[in-house]
Structure 1
Amino acid sequence: MAESNKPLVLVTGGSGFIAVHIMLKLLEQGYRVRTSLRTMSRQDEVRDMLRSGGVTRFEGLLFIQADLSNDHNWDEAVKGAEYVIHVASPTPNKVYKDENEMIQPARDGVLRVLRAARDAGVKRVVLTSAFGAIGVGHKNHKGPYTEKDWSNTDASIHPYQKSKTIAEKAAWEFIRQEGNGLELATVNPVGVMGPILGNDYSHSNSSVRQMLESNQKYVPKIYSDYVDVRDVADLHLLAMLRPEANGERFIASSAETLSMLDIANILRKHLGEDAKNVPKSELPNILVRAIAIFKPQLRMIATLLGQDMSTSNQKAKRLLGWTPRSAEEAIAATGKSMIKIIKEQKKS
């Protein structure tokens, strides 16, 4: 990490998969980074993940305890920061009894961070939103989704996707009504793959682990676009720095639509014997919907069956010069790092 007079950046949710890769890029480029954690006991875990990514010096890294569910410490978290990258949000891994258990914390957390950033004189906030705020809840949609699209929250969609949509809309409304000059840009990733640096990783990476470990013979007929987490981190930095990014949304996607079976085939291609358990066939949609009735973890997947979720990445490429890796490279990187994690966990 080079010595630098570059400004301080607050990254929220520093133990998360995307956040760690963003911090890795920032530290490599000489920025000072302050990151929020809900519990300070995870500091060493974050350092270990960054060390796995190549960071050797940590003088520019600061930690602060802050939780999206309350105001405590957010004024201190943003103090002196020129930029805020707000990554932290409830994840889709938890089964909720009431959708508001996910929606309200996401919305309130975004507004809490934006208010603190505005009051502290932060120049720009980059919000990590999601494809879930763009392309969900539309029947018979044709053609790639763009940044002009919004998910339909009146449709029957998963609370995670609804929370991302409502939270992002609340952020833009806040900027319009009471931002007082605070700048905002959002990054909306599709399925995030790429190198795993620790035990905290994305929902998409979890599906790869299930393929590698489960001995399941079938995968659902889900078609999605994917992106490498390293490219997601790059796009956040471009959205943070480039004047053209102010007031804009950016889809983070390789713009290649793959099925779950395509992912399985890529894993077999790159992992050989380590991918021997990966499924080789697809499960009919009617069976997936039936199973989802009894397995809540499949309910979000069931809502995506038969949907066109293709995306365009032309805006980020044209406006910011962003150049993402291929989906195959991202998925192969996930598989290789996941195998390493699985083997290490079996040893311990």
Structure 2
Amino acid sequence: MRSGQVLVTGASGFVGKWTVVELLRAGFTVRASVRSEDKAEAVRQAVTHQLGEDILYRLSFVKLNLMHDPGWTRAMLRIDAVIHAAGVVLSGGPDNPQRVIGPAVEGSERVLRFATLAGVKRIILTSSVAAVGYGHGSVRGVQHFTADDFTDIDAVRRPAAAVTGATMAERGAWAYARQEGLALTTIHPGHILGKGLDSDVSPSLQLIGWLLDGSRPKVPDIGVSVVDVRDVAALLVAALHQPATIGQRYLAASDYVSFAHMGFILAAAFPDWPVGLEVLPDWRIRLQAAFGGPMRGFINDLGHEKHYDRSKAEALLAGPLISGREAIVAAARSLIQFGLVSSRTTVESPAGGN
């Protein structure tokens, strides 16, 4: 598929905005799903800043809600493909897991159901490595996962909303696609960082903010597999171009980076910022997680170092993924640029980075 009209759900999100930009850059017409006119204007501004105003004639908007049916029938009219980029990203474990699980599972089902009713066959689903790397036993240490690995939520010792939601949504999507004959591809990002297009960035960048401004000077002795948001958007669009991606899963994660190493990267790139570098012992994390809050989301990763095979993603993009270091530095620069973090010292131009 080299042209046509694509519906992008969650178009005002961190991934969604970049996906809209990359689709327009590639020559597609985009119908962008948003929750309000304010969100639509933010997408227009992001597109204009990247591509200029002349491209806006290929961009339109529709107001949709993942949890409600109204509007979806009209939204699917004359659509050639759907990129489902919408979801709920929280900085810590939610008080109510259904805040994440509900939109992930029910939202994906609603997208597929209305696409089927409209005769839309081509679907690109944004999932997560959370649907890949959990429930594989109590093996500690370095683990390697490929696109053939699936999370077993029944075997996850401490179920997390993000893991449960992503896994159930993907499992349901593949079952529905087989039943209805849909041409489905799933993209599984790691921890999404990189350059923000405006101040409405993902909570996934909050970790960088905590480290950069020293508000969380002590970090867990764990890490994440990082991916740059620009690579995620590029993969979503590349999947439309390549029919061979139908029926395939792609893991989008460049480098595993420990939180301590993130701190060293930020301290080197932003020497005037009070970057937190102290590592918390595991027992402190377990204690804090027992009372909820941000640490709850990390409990399943203690003692594990998860690496995800990026070879299929790099083959699809015909080149390497952006490095974890570059994604981290770009995220920090965005937080500074949009005034989302503040330093106790005078900030000079960041050293290093690309």
TM-score by length of 2: 0.89
Amino acid at match of 2:198: G
What amino acid is aligned across from residue 73 of structure 1 in structure 2? Answer: G
Distance 1:43 1:99 in 2: 28
Q: 1:272 to 1:53 in 2, by over 3 A?
A: farther
- In structure 2, the partner of 1:340 is 337
Residue 130 of structure 1: how far off its partner (Å)? 0.3
Report the alpha carbon displacement of residue 199 of structure 1 after superposing the two structures with TM.
Answer: 2.6
Which of these residues, 51, 68, 72, is aligned with residue 66 of structure 2?
68
Secondary structure, counterpart of 2:271 in structure 1: helix
The residue correspondences of 1:3-14 to structure 2 (distance < 5 A) are 6-14=3-11
For the residue of structure 2 that corresponds to 1:342, the secondary structure is: coil
Confirm or deny: 8 A CA contact 1:185 1:240 kept in the other structure.
Answer: no
1:237 and 1:286, CA in 2 relative to 1: closer, same or farther beyond 3 A? same
Partner residue in 2 for 1:161: 163
Structure 1 counterpart of 2:178 = 176
Superposed CA deviations along residues 45-77 of structure 1, whole A, max 9, x for unmatched, are 222233343443311111101111111111111
Distance 1:344 1:298, change over 3 A: closer
Cα distance, 1:132 vs structure 2: 0.8
Alignment match of 2:15 (pick from 18, 40, 44): 18
Gaps of 5+ in 2: 344-354
Residue aligned with 1:287, SS? helix
1:95: how far off? 5.3
> What CA distance in whole angstroms lies between the structure 2 residues aligned with 1:182 and 1:116?
12
Gaps of 5+ in 1: none
Amino acid at match of 1:324: L
| Letter paired with 2:23 | L
TM-aligned CA distance change 1:343 to 1:167, over 3 Å: closer
Aligned to 2:238: 238
Corresponding residue of 1:28: 25
Identity of aligned residues (%): 32
Cα distance 1:291–1:74, how it changes in 2: closer, same or farther (>3 A)? same
In the TM superposition, structure 1's runs of 4+ consecutive aligned residues that sit over 4 Å from their partners are: 343-346
Answer whether contact 1:27 1:55 (CA < 8 A) is retained.
no
String of CA shifts for 1:13-33, please: whole Å, max 9, x gaps. Answer: 111000100111111222111
Q: Which amino acid aligns with 1:297?
A: P
The corresponding residue for 2:264 is 265
Q: Is the 8 A contact 2:199 2:340 kept in 1?
A: no
Deviates more, 1:290-299 or 1:280-289: 290-299
Equivalents in 1 of 2:94, 2:216: separation in Å?
Answer: 26
1:221-257 deviation digits (Å, cap 9, x = unpaired)? 1122111111111111111220110000000111x22
In the other structure, the counterpart of 1:331 is 328
In the alignment, the residues of structure 2 paired with residue 150 and residue 201 of structure 1 have an alpha-carbon distance, to the nearest angstrom, of 29
Give the structure 2 partner of residue 99 of structure 1.
Answer: 97
Instruction: Report the secondary structure of 2:314's partner residue.
Output: helix
Aligned residue pair count: 337
**TM-score normalized with structure 1 length:** 0.90
* Letter of the structure 1 residue corresponding to residue 269 of structure 2: H
Distance 1:344 1:134 in 2: 32
How far residue 93 of structure 1 moved from its aligned partner, in angstroms, is 3.6
Alignment of 1:1-348 (within 5 A): 6-57=3-54, 58-93=56-91, 96-138=94-136, 139-140=138-139, 142-154=142-154, 155=156, 156-177=158-179, 179=180, 181-254=181-254, 256-273=255-272, 276-318=273-315, 321-342=318-339
Bigger shift: residues 64-73 or 153-162: 153-162
Paired with 2:111 and 2:196, the residues of 1 have a C-alpha distance of 27
Give SS of 2:143's match.
coil
Q: Match of 1:309, SS?
A: strand
Question: In structure 1, what is the Cα distance between the partners aligned to 2:337 and 2:152?
Answer: 39
The letter of the residue matching 1:205 is L
C-alpha separation between the residues in 1 aligned to 2:196 and 2:30?
21
